[in-house]
A and B are shown apart, each in its own frame.
Chain A
Amino acid sequence: MFKKILVANRGEIAVRIIRACRELGIKSVAVYSEADKEALHTQLADESICIGASASSDSYLNMERILSATIAVKADAIHPGFGFLSENAKFVEMCEKCNIKFIGPSSSIIHKMGNKAEARKTMMKASIPVVPGTKEPVVTAEEGKKLADKIGYPVIIKASLGGGGKGMRIVEREEEFTSQFETAQMESIGSFGDNTMYIEKYIVNPRHIEFQILADQYGNVVHLGERDCSIQRRHQKLIEESPSVAMDENLRKKMGDMAILAAKTVGYENAGTIEFLLDKDKNFYFMEMNTRIQVEHPITEFVTGIDLVKTQIEIAEGKELPFTQNDITITGHAIECRINAEDPACHFMPCPGTIESLHIPGGNGVRVDTAVYQNYKIPPFYDSMLLKVVVHDKDRISAIQKMISVLGEVIIGGTKTNLNFQYEIFNHEKFKKGDINTHFIQDYFEQ
């Protein structure tokens, strides 16, 4: 039983965690930097402790100060949120040494999953599909073709030293391989003076599908369905939804089983996310595992009715999962949309400033996670996310209609935001049809 939890984060996720603590009757301690003296999390927590100057490296990333603060306030656990120290194996190792419960997996698991190459190897060993490709470089077209035939077309040929598309070719059909390989190789020799090439399965317009899992210390693992996070701009997620239109019961079971297998393979504990690429033919490939709570966790909470943060805390306390896979049902459709203080007209540059006017909508099936308030000054030191607007309705199209209605009500004055950019995405025909993939923004919103 935890009596007091230190929240080693800031912004809306810190607020989210403080609320979960309060609901569980656990005292919460906020840590804050000098810039966050007036932040919501600082004021909302039962206790607050300043851990240093505004720069993250002096405060939210300063392991020694956070540990000292934890000891000083006699907290027995740390919730790391996401970002900052949430996936820092060394920090978790320090917590373990200090007898402080880190609400998340052990340092060894974080270390193992943090190394992308090792994670890939571990998953391959467990027969979890990864993007097929050569591990060793290839020099001749003959060798390359043999491998490509085995991998299956289309494949992508990449120069070992490649960059900027040079020495890169997508091969759709077997008979094109040799000529394409030779062209790519010539380019590579010309540009980089190197003839070694890699061959990888080319995933055409994939979706980013991730599975939420929960695992307790007794080996029970369940998945809470998927989230489709294909709407991204330069690998930054903008919109997430659950369930995915690309999913049916069969595929969900297949991918969910793989996610559970992945978690079991590494002996996972606490909440985690397995990310996959899903192609149009419903083939899926393991990408990576996130060993923390995700930004987009509220959509899973909406469709499953399970409070992920509270469950995280209970798992860390040593409780058994109170449900099995059969108890998990997906109800309706949830969508999250991230509103950031950034200027879409100016390469999405962050725009710190003061929130001069603010209207946050509400209503049935509407949830807004935020840490901003009227007259709040957005500090320039941290990320620019202001709100997560989340809606839940009986099906996808109702959820989209609700989101459009809700976004129309959002008012944020005093700073530039991506609100209108998001509004346009929800009104886009292709989006409404669910015809989305990771290239969506690039294809329809950027020249």
Chain B
Amino acid sequence: MVFRDMFKKTTYIRVDIGKEEAEKTNQINRGQNVEKEPSIPEGMWTKCNVCGEMIYTEDLIENAYVCPKCSGYFRINAKTRISMITDDNSFEEWDQGIHLENPLDFPGYEEKVLHLKRHTNLDEAVITGKALIQGEPVVIGVMDTRFLMASMGEVVGEKITRAVERATNEKIPVILFTCSGGARMQEGIVSLMQMAKISAALKRHSEEGLLYISVLTDPTTGGVTASFAMLGDVILAEPGALVGFAGPRVIEQTIGQRLPEGFQRSEFLLKHGLIDNIVKREDMVATLGRLIRFHQSKEKMELENETKTEYNDLEYRKVINQKGVWEKVQMARSIERPTSLDFINTIFDYFYELHGDRVFRDDGAIVGGVASYRGIPVTVIGQQKGKSTKENMKRNFGMPYPEGYRKALRLMKQAEKFKRPIICFVDTPGAFCGIEAEERGQGEAIAKNLFEMAGITVPILSIVIGEGGSGGALALAVADEVWMLENATYSILSPEGFASILWKDSKRSEEAAELMKITAEDLKDLGIIETIISENGVANMNSLDLIAEEISEQFEKFLQVYTKKSGEELVKDRYNRFRRY
């Protein structure tokens, strides 16, 4: 601050033009002054609500309304959304101009709606119609919060219902982008009925085996969450979107507590098993496109006239016999062993993971989703172990909680709806033993899977790739065939547990292992499994490709046999398979 206020500053005006000329210039300038004055045009900058920074609006538009500075999401209106999601010029709008009834004769309501129509250039709080997404025809509905917070009145309900009905008739998927404050207060109980009406229409659509994807955007609350938002076969959400039944303010007032950071945001929902995935705006079209194409896939297995398939395992026997049982137990537990995801990513040409049990939590110990096997859609489920301590915290060392089994069952039911074969990878020390697991019904969850899997009308194949630990393994193994990798184990419980129960000495586990008959070879002899898959020595990341190739080849044969069978036949054969034990 050495020179502060010491410099002589500019206090004079310019003298380089004559006085007369200056006046002339001033006069000319005065006429245009208002327009010429420097000012920031309205809308040139947009403030980001997340980081508070001012964003150049053109940058924002270029960046799909995602803040270039903090990646925060701006809400976007329905028309912008449609143009972002659908193929150019493919959108055909339906059901405009449905008459507003004002069922409660609510004062000022009609005027308000009229004003909004003019102001927003919207017909109502939702736009519906038909469009192409990456060339696939879909019925699409997009809500717009500028119209009474996109609350669900009769017109909104009617437009969505009609759109779903037409989709059912035309046998095409429905994609709904939700954002809403919930029911429309001005329409009272009539608004409430829209929840049931739309849900009923979606039920009919679903019963036709058709796909419905809901995409939750900020904010989706109230009656919309409690109806069509949560009914998607696949539920996706934009990052950071607020999604909930009761609004956070209402909850805080009711319980008198401050809510934690991130409560009711997409990430919270994903963690709590309520949505399948979070999709960034830039990836939305590609994700929707792939999922739709996947569900439209007409690819069926080319059936050869082979009635019986030969599975040969004799040649592996020699190799298998060289290893001791305890050695195999160690190998099955090895951290070097390929996990379910390793096999899934190697065998299938496309895998999209779906998360959550839609009830409580997304269990990291079970992964599942849709996959494509040589162009054929299948559902894949597997118990997942980690390869590091950090990963194992997330995967719980491959020991599922009840919600893991419930997620698996949800995905199996979904496979049944879309007539996709199911392939399960079994690799667990056992279902998790813990307080919360019991609280949430570990036994019930396993039992329910055994019960439901008995009746699933699509082919099920289970492959034990590592440890097949007890009921926790069986809950993914009520299958038409069960295969095992050559060094995998499948048992009533661990040799340690066995020794401890029988001899009160868990140290005698090696001895127990010898007695228990838990190796692939033993189980083949007992008729518990159908096929042994060679590990080409030891299953690790080096032999993964070879093992995966073997599984893949055998899987093709499996599909050839089982996709020929009807649902009743499959259920009957599966019944008999387990009846004989």
A50, CB-defined interface residue at 8 Å: no
A90 / chain B contacts, CB cutoff of 8 Å: 56
The distance from the CB of A310 to the nearest CB of chain B, in whole angstroms, is 11
Interface readout for A105-144 with B: 1 if CB under 8 Å, 0 if not?
0000000000000000000000000000000000000000
B9 / chain A contacts, CB cutoff of 8 Å: 22, 45-46
B1 / chain A contacts, CB cutoff of 8 Å: 38, 43
A390, CB-defined interface residue at 8 Å: no
- For A27, the closest partner residue in chain B by CB is B10
* Given contacts A43-B4, A46-B9, A63-B56, A98 and B14 within 8 Å (CB-CB): no
Docked complex: B4-52 residues within 8 A CB-CB of A: 4, 7, 9-10, 12-17, 25, 35-41, 44-45
B36 / chain A contacts, CB cutoff of 8 Å: 99
A94 / chain B contacts, CB cutoff of 8 Å: 44, 56
Question: In the docked arrangement, what's the CA distance between A446 and B249, Å?
Answer: 68
Question: In the docked arrangement, what's the CA distance between A63 and B40, Å?
Answer: 12
Question: In the docked arrangement, what's the CA distance between A74 and B39, Å?
Answer: 9
Interface size class of A (residues with CB under 8 A): 20 to 34
B4, B10, B37: the one contacting A25 at CB < 8 Å is B10
* Given contacts A38-B1, A63-B56, A64-B56, A98 and B10 within 8 Å (CB-CB): no
Q: Is the CB of B41 within 8 A of A24?
A: no
Q: Is the CB of B44 within 8 A of A97?
A: yes
Docked complex: B244-283 residues within 8 A CB-CB of A: none
B54, CB-defined interface residue at 8 Å: yes
B37 / chain A contacts, CB cutoff of 8 Å: 99
Interface size class of B (residues with CB under 8 A): 20 to 34
B581, CB-defined interface residue at 8 Å: no
Q: Is the CB of A44 within 8 A of B7?
A: yes
- For A43, the closest partner residue in chain B by CB is B3
- For B13, the closest partner residue in chain A by CB is A25
- For B37, the closest partner residue in chain A by CB is A99
Q: Is the CB of A98 within 8 A of B41?
A: yes
The distance from the CB of A88 to the nearest CB of chain B, in whole angstroms, is 12
A400 / chain B contacts, CB cutoff of 8 Å: none
Question: In the docked arrangement, what's the CA distance between A26 and B187, Å?
Answer: 64
The distance from the CB of A53 to the nearest CB of chain B, in whole angstroms, is 13
Question: In the docked arrangement, what's the CA distance between A38 and B3, Å?
Answer: 9
Interface of B is mostly: loop
A27, A64, A74, A374: the one contacting B38 at CB < 8 Å is A74
Q: Is the CB of B15 within 8 A of A25?
A: yes
- For A77, the closest partner residue in chain B by CB is B38
Q: Is the CB of B14 within 8 A of A26?
A: yes
B501, CB-defined interface residue at 8 Å: no
Q: Is the CB of A70 within 8 A of B38?
A: yes
A374 / chain B contacts, CB cutoff of 8 Å: 2
Q: Is the CB of A98 within 8 A of B4?
A: no
The distance from the CB of B304 to the nearest CB of chain A, in whole angstroms, is 41
- For B6, the closest partner residue in chain A by CB is A43
Q: Looking at B12, B13, B37, B38, which has the most chain A CB atoms within 10 Å of its CB?
A: B38
A84, CB-defined interface residue at 8 Å: no
A1, A46, A68, A373: the one contacting B10 at CB < 8 Å is A46
Additional A-B contacts beyond A43-B4, A373-B2, A373-B3 (8; CB < 8 A): A1-B17, A25-B12, A25-B14, A25-B16, A40-B3, A64-B45, A98-B40, A375-B2
Query: What is A's interface to B at a CB cutoff of 8 Å?
Result: 1, 3, 21-22, 24-28, 38, 40, 43-46, 63-64, 67-68, 70-71, 74-76, 90, 94, 97-100, 373-375
List the 8 closest pairs (A to B, CB-CB), nearest first: A25-B14, A64-B54, A100-B38, A46-B9, A99-B38, A43-B3, A46-B10, A27-B10
- 19 residue pairs from A and B, CB less than 8 Å apart: A3-B13, A24-B14, A25-B15, A26-B14, A44-B3, A44-B7, A46-B9, A46-B10, A74-B38, A94-B44, A97-B41, A98-B40, A98-B44, A99-B36, A99-B37, A99-B39, A100-B38, A373-B2, A373-B3
